[in-house]
A and B are shown apart, each in its own frame.
Chain A
């Protein structure tokens, strides 16, 4: 039996510090659902998802009860739909999104990811149709999440995709204008996308993955903050050690949940993603961890260094705890989902440019940032290109989930509700970059990609 104080520590982490399993995400390959008839293909997709994930929610809830640790989300990721739908004659893939939505509703999950295309080096016919279908797909479904991988360290950056996706984001914002352009919150543009990420909106089941796997995303910013609170005079080395130890414990809890759920569903356990993912609730903020290190507000000078140390220490603790660590495993900095980030933006401490700098040292990118609705598509493409460049050059994943909130401007706030939170509209640079974006073609792969 674990020692008295260990038991109490775990109970406190769960009850007071919001330790939870953020998501169990079942990855399902749809490669065997390919059919020249779109209708037949969609029928196969529905049947396969509802068959394999039939007990996902039930088993998730059972384990939640037995272990006494909350599992906040039960989700599904599937093979990128552009690969599945490409062999059909369909000229629009919105129906594929609708069938994913229907399957998600049947099995009782809250998000399904994989309305995706992988285009770092160019488009197939299916990729183009899928990308064109994104705005309508996101506007007409509830649970479907979409992503596009537009660059990689091996291939460079597909600037045609960058240009087109700027327009796609604007169209999505317009089509979901009645709900503060919420459709854009369900879309991520990646560079170096990972194939086993359990977190939405960017989860998809890569083609190199098994038939079906169970991936787990663990969180716990509150636990890390509390651990640091107790060590006010700690040096950087000591802080890193505290974060590592905390990350270790959280990861072990996630590993146990993942392997247990996988065993009961009779699918292999995939990976564990230990990412400090904030929620809008007080006490569940990544920004507050950075502030705990001694910053007046997140976004001030020193923030990038603080985030770099946090991200690195989290990874080190996680890797020691589980051999199956994958996905992003670091710290997320979604503005609308983090109470501390929201406050930092509102008081002027955190700017768009600082956020961009922060993304060069943490696990994702410009995430859940609301910008003025009249921002030109080319400016959004410029933002996508910058983030992709950070990822491609630094051999890391970067993503952009940005919301040009239709009809709103700096000074307004977008309300998304639930886990997506609320976002003060942030100003962007108003200087034009359309000539740059319109050049088209490919930014070549960086020199360090030639390792063969």
Chain B
């Protein structure tokens, strides 16, 4: 099962470090990363593979949301299917 992690907020140091740390701790593999910074506004999208994930999805989701609050970013994780359904025929 793959999911999309979206990180949005004001740019600062350590964003990728903080997010990827949580993912690594829970055995979630990052397959792809795209990011952009526009006018100090940071947007990152990660495609992650959760096949070997060591915790429940909700636990990971909460952990990401918590780290998001700590570093002042909005972090979401959503099943990849939603994006494929909405944007591909």
Of A4, A249, A252, the residue contacting B45 (CB under 8 A) is A4
- Residues in A whose Cβ lies below 8 Å from that of B6: 7-8, 11
- Do the beta carbons of B79 and A7 come within 8 Å of each other? no
Which B residues between 21 and 80 are near A, CB-CB below 8 angstroms? 32, 34, 36, 43, 45, 47, 57-58, 61, 74, 76-80
- Do the beta carbons of B85 and A1 come within 8 Å of each other? no
Question: Is the contact region of chain A dominated by helix, strand, or loop, or is it mixed?
Answer: helix
- Do the beta carbons of B78 and A1 come within 8 Å of each other? no
- Do the beta carbons of B45 and A7 come within 8 Å of each other? yes
Nearest CB in chain A: distance from B10 CB, A:
16
Of B57, B74, B86, the residue contacting A252 (CB under 8 A) is B86
Binds B, one of A62-70, A144-152, A349-357: A62-70
A2 on interface, CB distance cutoff 8 Å = yes
A447 on interface, CB distance cutoff 8 Å = no
A347 on interface, CB distance cutoff 8 Å = no
A10 on interface, CB distance cutoff 8 Å = yes
Question: Please, how many angstroms separate the alpha-carbon atoms of A101 and B83 in the complex?
Answer: 37
Tell whether A10 pairs with B79 under 8 Å between CB atoms, given A1-B4, A66-B57: no
Question: Please, how many angstroms separate the alpha-carbon atoms of A67 and B32 in the complex?
Answer: 19
Of A6, A8, A67, the residue contacting B79 (CB under 8 A) is A67
Question: Please, how many angstroms separate the alpha-carbon atoms of A313 and B77 in the complex?
Answer: 32
Q: How many residues of A contact B (CB 8 A)?
A: 23
- Residues in B whose Cβ lies below 8 Å from that of A9: 87
- Do the beta carbons of A67 and B82 come within 8 Å of each other? yes
Of B8, B58, B84, the residue contacting A2 (CB under 8 A) is B84
- Do the beta carbons of B76 and A11 come within 8 Å of each other? yes
- Do the beta carbons of B80 and A3 come within 8 Å of each other? no
Which has the most chain B C-beta neighbours within 10 Å: A1, A9, A252? Answer: A1
- Do the beta carbons of A6 and B8 come within 8 Å of each other? no
B13 on interface, CB distance cutoff 8 Å = no
- Residues in A whose Cβ lies below 8 Å from that of B47: 1
Nearest CB in chain A: distance from B15 CB, A:
16
- Residues in A whose Cβ lies below 8 Å from that of B87: 2-3, 6, 9-10, 249
Question: Please, how many angstroms separate the alpha-carbon atoms of A256 and B78 in the complex?
Answer: 13
Residue on A nearest B8 in the bound complex, by CB? A11
Nearest CB in chain B: distance from A53 CB, A:
22
Of A3, A4, A15, A256, the residue contacting B82 (CB under 8 A) is A256
A255 on interface, CB distance cutoff 8 Å = yes
- Do the beta carbons of B82 and A253 come within 8 Å of each other? yes
Interface residues on B, range: 20 to 34
Tell whether A253 pairs with B85 under 8 Å between CB atoms, given A1-B32, A1-B80, A67-B79: yes
- Do the beta carbons of A7 and B61 come within 8 Å of each other? no
Residue on A nearest B87 in the bound complex, by CB? A6
- Do the beta carbons of A65 and B58 come within 8 Å of each other? yes
Residue on A nearest B47 in the bound complex, by CB? A1
Nearest CB in chain A: distance from B85 CB, A:
4
Interface code A10-39, partner B: CB below 8 Å = 1, 0 otherwise?
A: 110001000000000000000000000000
Residue on B nearest A322 in the bound complex, by CB? B85
Question: Please, how many angstroms separate the alpha-carbon atoms of A1 and B78 in the complex?
Answer: 12
- Do the beta carbons of B81 and A67 come within 8 Å of each other? yes
Nearest CB in chain A: distance from B1 CB, A:
9
Question: Please, how many angstroms separate the alpha-carbon atoms of A260 and B80 in the complex?
Answer: 13
- Residues in A whose Cβ lies below 8 Å from that of B61: 65
- Do the beta carbons of A253 and B78 come within 8 Å of each other? no
- Residues in A whose Cβ lies below 8 Å from that of B84: 2
Residue on B nearest A257 in the bound complex, by CB? B82
Nearest CB in chain A: distance from B35 CB, A:
9
Question: Please, how many angstroms separate the alpha-carbon atoms of A3 and B4 in the complex?
Answer: 11
- Residues in B whose Cβ lies below 8 Å from that of A1: 2, 4, 32, 47, 80, 83
Nearest CB in chain A: distance from B50 CB, A:
10
- Do the beta carbons of A10 and B83 come within 8 Å of each other? yes
- Do the beta carbons of B85 and A252 come within 8 Å of each other? yes
- Do the beta carbons of B86 and A253 come within 8 Å of each other? yes
- Do the beta carbons of A249 and B86 come within 8 Å of each other? yes
- Residues in B whose Cβ lies below 8 Å from that of A255: 85
Which has the most chain B C-beta neighbours within 10 Å: A2, A4, A6, A250? Answer: A2
Question: Please, how many angstroms separate the alpha-carbon atoms of A66 and B6 in the complex?
Answer: 14
Nearest CB in chain B: distance from A15 CB, A:
8
Question: Please, how many angstroms separate the alpha-carbon atoms of A182 and B83 in the complex?
Answer: 40
Residues of A that sit less than 8 Å from B by CB? 1-4, 6-11, 15, 65-69, 249-250, 252-253, 255-256, 260
Known A8-B43, A67-B78, A256-B85; 7 more pairs at CB < 8 Å = A1-B80, A2-B83, A11-B8, A67-B79, A67-B82, A68-B77, A250-B86
- Going nearest first, the 8 A-B pairs with the smallest beta carbon separation are A68-B78, A2-B83, A6-B87, A256-B85, A252-B85, A249-B86, A2-B87, A67-B82
